[in-house]
Amino acid sequence: MRRTVASDYGRSMPPLVGRLDNIDVLCLDLDSMVRFYRDTLEVPLLFPYDRESGWAGFQAGDVSIYLIRIEGEAPRRRVPGSEPAGLESFAFAVPDLEAAIDELSRRGVEWAGEIVESDWYRYRSFYDPEGNLLHVTVPDRVALGLTER
């Protein structure tokens, strides 16, 4: 049986679903989350932020990120690779990992660990104000089969 890899899609066998369109992030303190994503990470707002609407939209490349205010308990901070099951994290691609780390450190980002290196990615994990696990990453697009050497 032939293993399907990312480079197969769009060539010989189209995927059932297309590109990732959006991510919804539930949050308790919408204002602090908006400040973090808008000011610290500099993700552009998709629409003007209206505090009373209870949500904010951002555009990160092709993917929209929606922060949605809810009532409830504070979320449990995720430790990379730990329980419970479910969505663990999402990552922002950067052209220069060290430069991004230096700038985010200057802006007060709380790091969740040191740089991780694998055959496909170099990344470093950090937390948003509500403890969601995020990463800045430099994917090796050649090793992933997404571009040719």
Question: The tokens 């060290």 sit on which residue?
Answer: 98
- Do residues 120 and 91 lie in contact, with contact meaning Cβ atoms separated by under 8 Å? no
Q: How far apart are CA 136 and CA 43, in angstroms?
A: 13
Domain residue spans in the chain? Answer: 6-139
Query: pLDDT per residue over 72-127, tens digit each?
Result: 887 777 777 777 777 889 999 999 999 999 999 999 999 999 999 988 889 999 99
Beta strand 110-111 pairing with 116-117: unpaired
In eight-state DSSP terms, residue 94 is -
Tokens of 149: 């050497």
- Do residues 119 and 110 lie in contact, with contact meaning Cβ atoms separated by under 8 Å? no
Q: How far apart are CA 21 and CA 24, in angstroms?
A: 10
Amino acid code (one letter) for 86 = G
For the domain 6-139, what is the CATH code? 3.10.180.10
Query: pLDDT per residue over 37-84, tens digit each?
Result: 999 999 999 999 999 999 999 999 999 999 999 998 877 777 777 777
